Amino acid sequence: MALDVDVEEHLEMSFFKLWTNNNDTLLLCVCYRPQWKGSAPIQFIHANLDSLLLQHSCKHLIIVGDLNQHLVARPFQELLTDYGLTNHATFPTHISGSSLDPVISDLPEEAITCDPLGMVGSSDHSAILTTIRTSVEWDVPSPRTNWLWARGDWDSLIGELDSMEWTLLLHSDVDSQIDVFSNVLLSLQRKYIPSQEYKTKPRDQPWFGFQCQTAADAKSRAWTRYKSHPSQQNKNAHKEACKNMRWVQKQAIKRWREAVKTKLNGWNVSSNEWWSGVQQHQGLVADNTIPPFTRPDGSIATRATDKAQLLAAHFSSKVSVPDPTLPPPKIPPLTTASLENFTITTEEVKKQLLLLDPKKALGPDNISPHVLKRRAAQLASPLTIIFNNCLSSSKWPT
């Protein structure tokens, strides 16, 4: 990320903030000091380095560029000494055999390596490849469940639901009713609907689902067998697995594109959703659209879970009540009318269940809208009991 640093006009330098995969932050200074400019660039860095590191919450420092440091050896050495810096470019970087392009950093010597790449074009300076070794910290794969609805034993599931004595099971407070209903429904779903477990990686493409993962795993197993026993049969099996994986992925991409097209053609799609869908379809959306966050202690959060926790803490602080024991403020009534004997009927609940979109994702309770809609006739009754209890007790489930 480019930093807005107030640099004197005659100084040729730029500052950037970098993040490594292990959440470290680096202040990168790119500087050009012509031979006739004197020690002003070095002195500017020396005088402002502490404030720049503190202001931008940077843990480490790297300075690169054509500094011609042999002409300003004393201020250059003072900079290295005062900040504990090391020049990692210890080889000639100029056609004359001099080292004029340092790579200065406070990183440990074992963490940074510099290698000359030779002259580029008509330049008389050698390009330098600088490698910083960090421990990679990826988002962990997320477990997913693929429910095979078409192979479910729906008749047996209906039979068990019909035999449920919901009035006896749902006799306590709202939270207990929710727990009982959820546990019963989830246990029946696991009992009668076959499923397959797999993991999605953070960098998977949006079209890469369960079928693609299965085909990729089959290809990997076929390759392992072929490497262990390089027979013609295993070679052909691996070839077929590769062919099948390409076909599965091609079909998945086709279905995903059709889904995006259908969504963009919808009458209720917002402008943000429309442009986001177009950019995603064109491959213009970055892997991670949320930039790294700075924690209160100055460290950087790069993983999705860490960012989510910071956002949750931030928004929770905005809606917290300083003293929850205080009574709520008195709001003057705007009407004398009131609703009495308000009751939700089973038919109303069934009607709403039938309007559910079965393709929607599971909620926090892991109950699928597919089951709620398909078994609306059996599930409307227990849900009606719960909803009416919410109204009579004036309590929303935890």
Domain assignments of the chain as residue spans, ordered by start? 12-132, 141-202+341-398, 204-286
Q: How far apart are CA 185 and CA 366, in angstroms?
A: 10
Question: Quick check: 293 and 301 in contact, CB under 8 A?
Answer: yes
Q: How far is CA 50 from CA 56, 57, 80, 116, 178, in A?
A: 10, 11, 13, 30, 57
Span 207-257, pLDDT tens digits: 888 888 889 889 989 999 998 998 999 999 999 999 999 999 999 989 888
Residue-level pLDDT at 288: 52
Q: What's residue 297's pLDDT? A: 78
Average pLDDT in the 2-20 region?
A: 86
Give the pLDDT confidence score for residue 257 in this predicted structure: 85
Half-sphere exposure of 358 (CA within 13 A, CB side): 10
pLDDT at 138: 60
In the predicted model, what is the mean pLDDT of residues 68-80? 87
Quote the pLDDT of residue 136: 47
Q: Which residues of 109-128 are buried (b: 16+ CB within 10 A; e: fewer)?
A: eeebebeeeeeeeeeeebeb
Residue 180 is predicted with a pLDDT of 94
pLDDT of residue 135: 61
More confident residue, 351 or 197: 351
Cβ atoms of residues 79 and 47 within 8 Å: no
What's the average model confidence in pLDDT over 269-283?
Answer: 72
Model-level pTM?
0.52
pLDDT tens figures, 162-177 = 999 999 999 889 999 9
User: Band of the pLDDT at 206, cuts 50, 70, 90?
Assistant: confident
The DSSP H or E segment spanning 13 is strand 12-19
Q: Look at residue 355 in the predicted model and tell me its pLDDT.
A: 94
Mean pLDDT of 267-285: 70
Tell me what percent of the residues of the chain surpass a pLDDT of 70. Answer: 93
Range of 66-80, 125-139, 284-298, 366-380 with top mean pLDDT: 366-380
| 106, 61 contact by CB (below 8 A) | yes
Q: Choose the weakest-confidence range: 136-140, 234-238, 345-349, 380-384.
A: 136-140
pLDDT in tens, 59-69: 888 999 888 88
Per-residue confidence (pLDDT) for residue 287, from 0 to 100:
47
In this predicted model, what pLDDT tens digit does every residue of 107-158 receive, in sequence order?
A: 877 778 888 888 877 888 888 888 887 664 567 777 888 888 889 999 999 9
Axis crossing angle, helix 174-192 with helix 376-393, rounded to the nearest 10: 160
Burial class (CB in 10 A: 0-12, 13-18, 19+), 107: buried
Look at residue 283 in the predicted model and tell me its pLDDT: 59
Confidence (pLDDT) at 286: 47
Read off the tokens for 68.
């011609």
- CB within 8 A of 327, min separation 6: which ones? none
- pLDDT confidence of residue 348: 96
* Mean pLDDT computed over 79-85: 84
Rounded to whole angstroms, the Cα distance separating 32 from 12 reads 6
The per-residue pLDDT for range 299-311, each reduced to its tens digit, is 667 778 888 899 9
CB atoms within 10 A of CB 45: 23
The half-sphere exposure of 320 on its side-chain side, counting CA atoms within 13 A, is: 9
Long-range interactions of 16-19: CB distance < 8 A, separation 24+: 17/56, 17/58, 18/62, 19/292, 19/300, 19/302
Helix axes 210-228, 232-264, angle to 10 degrees: 160
**Which residues make beta-bridge pairs with 63?**
29, 104
Could you tell me if 390 and 174 are in contact, meaning their C-beta atoms sit under 8 angstroms apart? Answer: yes
Top-level class of domain 12-132: alpha beta
134/20 Cα distance (integer angstroms):
7
Kindly compute the dihedral angle of the four CA atoms of residues 54, 60, 63, 69, in this order, to the nearest 10 degrees: 90
- The fraction of the chain above a pLDDT of 90, given in percent, is 30
Question: What pLDDT score does 197 carry?
Answer: 83
Structure-token pair, residue 119: 């002259």
Residue 83, amino acid? Y
Strands (DSSP E) along 278-318, which ranges?
293-294, 300-301
pLDDT at 284 > cutoff 60: no
Whole-number average pLDDT of the chain: 85
